[in-house]
Chains A and B, each alone.
Chain A
Amino acid sequence: MTVSIDLNITKRYGDFELSIQSAIGNGITGIFGPSASGKSTLLNCIAGFENPDGGLITLNSKTVFSSRPKINISPEKRKVGYVHQHSALFPHLTVRENLEFGYNLTEKYRRIGSLEGIVYLLRLEQIMGRGVMNLSGGERQRVALGRSLAAFPDLLLLDEPLASLDLPFRGFILEKLREVSREWNLDMIYVSHSVSEMIALADSVIVIRNGMKIVEGNSSLLLNNSSVADYVDYGSFENILQGVVDGPVDENLSSLTIGDVRLITPKLALEKGKQATVSIKASDIIVSKYLPVAISAPNILRANISSINHSENPTFIDCEIGGCSLTAALTKQSVLDLGLRTFDEVYLIIKATSVTPMEVY
Chain B
Amino acid sequence: MDLGEQNLFNLILLSLQVAVTATLINIPIAIYIGWLIGRKNIKGKLILETLISLPLALPPVVTGYFLLVLVGREAPLGQLSRFIFGADIVFTWVASAIAASVVSFPLMVRAIIVAMQGVDTTLERSARSLGAGPLRTFFKITLPLCYNGLMAGVLLGFVRAIGEFGATIVVAGNIPGRTQTIPLAIYSKVQLGRDSEALNLILISTLMAIMTLIVHHWLTIRGSKKGTR
Q: Which residues of A contact B (CB under 8 A)?
A: 47-49, 74-76, 78, 80-82, 84, 86-88, 90-92, 101-102, 105-106, 147-148, 151, 153
Q: Is B40 an interface residue (CB 8 A)?
A: no
Please name all residues of chain B whose beta carbon is closer than 8 Å to the beta carbon of A47 when the two chains form the complex.
Answer: 125, 129
Which residues of chain A come closer than 8 Å to B229, judged between CB atoms?
86-88, 91
Q: Chain B nearest CB: distance from A105 CB in Å?
A: 4
- The residues of B that contact A49 with a CB separation of less than 8 Å are 125, 128-129
A and B contact pairs by CB, cutoff 8 A, 20 listed: A49-B125, A49-B129, A75-B125, A75-B129, A76-B129, A76-B131, A76-B133, A84-B125, A86-B122, A88-B120, A88-B229, A91-B145, A92-B144, A92-B145, A101-B127, A101-B140, A102-B130, A102-B131, A106-B131, A153-B129
The 8 closest A-B pairs by CB, nearest first: A102-B130, A105-B131, A75-B128, A88-B122, A82-B129, A88-B126, A151-B130, A76-B131
- The complex places the Cα of A90 from the Cα of B227 at a distance, in Å, of 8
Contacts of A76 in B (CB 8 A): 128-133
Return A302 CB to nearest CB of chain B, in Å.
48
Once the chains bind, are A92 and B126 in contact (CB under 8 Å)?
no
How far does the Cβ of A81 sit from chain B's closest Cβ, in whole Å?
6
Bound-state CA distance A101–B137 (Å) is 11
Instruction: Output the residue of A90, A102, A147, A148 with the most chain B CB within 10 A.
Output: A90
Would A105 and B130 be within 8 Å (CB), given that A88-B120, A90-B141, A92-B145 are in contact? yes
Per-residue CB contact flags for chain B residues 118-158 toward chain A (1 = under 8 Å, else 0) read 00101101111111111010001100110000000000000
In chain B between 75 and 98, which residues have their CB closer than 8 angstroms to a CB of chain A?
A: none
Which B207-229 residues have a C-beta within 8 angstroms of A?
A: 226-229
A102 to B128: give the CA distance in the assembly, Å: 9
How many Å lie between the Cα of A78 and that of B131 in the bound state? 9
| CB neighbours of A151 from chain B (8 A) | 129-131
Interface size class of B (residues with CB under 8 A): 20 to 34
Chain B: which residue is nearest A104 at the CB level? B131
**A78: nearest chain-B partner, CB-CB:** B129
Min CB distance, A161 to chain B, in Å?
13
Which B residues lie within 8 Å of A75 (CB)? 125, 128-129
Question: Interface of chain B, helix or strand or loop or mixed?
Answer: helix
Chain B residues with CB below 8 A from A88, complex form: 120, 122-123, 125-126, 229
Which interface residue of A75, A106, A153 has the most chain B CB atoms within 10 A? Answer: A75
- List residues of chain B with CB within 8 A of the CB of A92: 144-145, 226
What residue in chain A is nearest B121 (Cβ atoms)? A49
Q: Select B126's contact among A90, A106, A153, beta carbons within 8 Å.
A: A90
From residue A47, how far is it (CB to closest CB) to chain B in Å? 6
Expressed in whole angstroms, the Cα–Cα distance for A76 and B129 within the complex equals: 5
Give A100 Cβ to nearest chain B Cβ, in Å.
10
Q: Is the CB of B129 within 8 A of A91?
A: no
The answer to whether B132 and A105 have CB atoms under 8 Å apart is yes
CA distance A242 to B161 in the complex (A): 66
Interface centre among B130, B226, B229 (most CB of A within 10 A): B130
CB distance from B215 to the nearest CB of A (A): 20
Please determine whether A81 and B129 come into contact, CB atoms closer than 8 angstroms: yes
CA–CA, A75 to B133, complex, Å?
A: 8
B130: chain A residues within 8 A (beta carbon): 76, 81, 101-102, 105, 147-148, 151
Whether B127 pairs with A74 at a CB distance below 8 angstroms is no
A84, A87, A88, A148 pick with most chain B CB within 10 angstroms:
A88
Tell me which residues across on chain B come within 8 A of A78, comparing CB atoms: 129
Residues of chain B within 8 A of A84, CB atoms compared: 122, 125-126
Measured CB to CB, the nearest residue on chain B to A103 is B130
Residues of the A chain whose Cβ atoms lie less than 8 Å from the Cβ of B125: 47, 49, 75, 82, 84, 88
B131, B132, B136, B228: the one within 8 Å of A91 (CB): B228
Complex Cα gap A299–B141 (Å): 53
| Residues of B contacting A105 in the complex (Cβ-Cβ under 8 angstroms) | 130-132, 136
Complex CA distance for A81 and B129, rounded to whole angstroms:
6
**B137 (CB) vs chain A CBs: closest residue:** A76
CA distance A322 to B141 in the complex (A): 51
* Nearest B residue to A84, CB-CB: B122
With A84-B122, A90-B123, A91-B145: A48-B226 Cβ-Cβ less than 8 Å: no
B126: which A residues are within 8 A, CB to CB?
82, 84, 88, 90, 147
The CA-CA distance from A151 to B131 in the complex, in Å, is 8
Q: Which residue of B lies closest to A106 (CB)?
A: B131
With A76-B131, A86-B229 already in contact, 14 other A-B pairs whose C-beta atoms are closer than 8 Å: A48-B128, A49-B128, A75-B128, A75-B129, A76-B128, A78-B129, A80-B129, A84-B122, A88-B122, A90-B123, A91-B228, A101-B140, A106-B131, A151-B131
Chain B, Cβ-Cβ closest to A44: B125
CA distance A82 to B144 in the complex (A): 22
Query: How far does the Cβ of B100 sit from chain A's closest Cβ, in whole Å?
Result: 32
Minimal Cβ-Cβ distance residue in A for B119: A91
CA A80 to CA B125, docked complex, whole Å: 11
Chain A contacts of B145 at CB under 8 A? 91-92
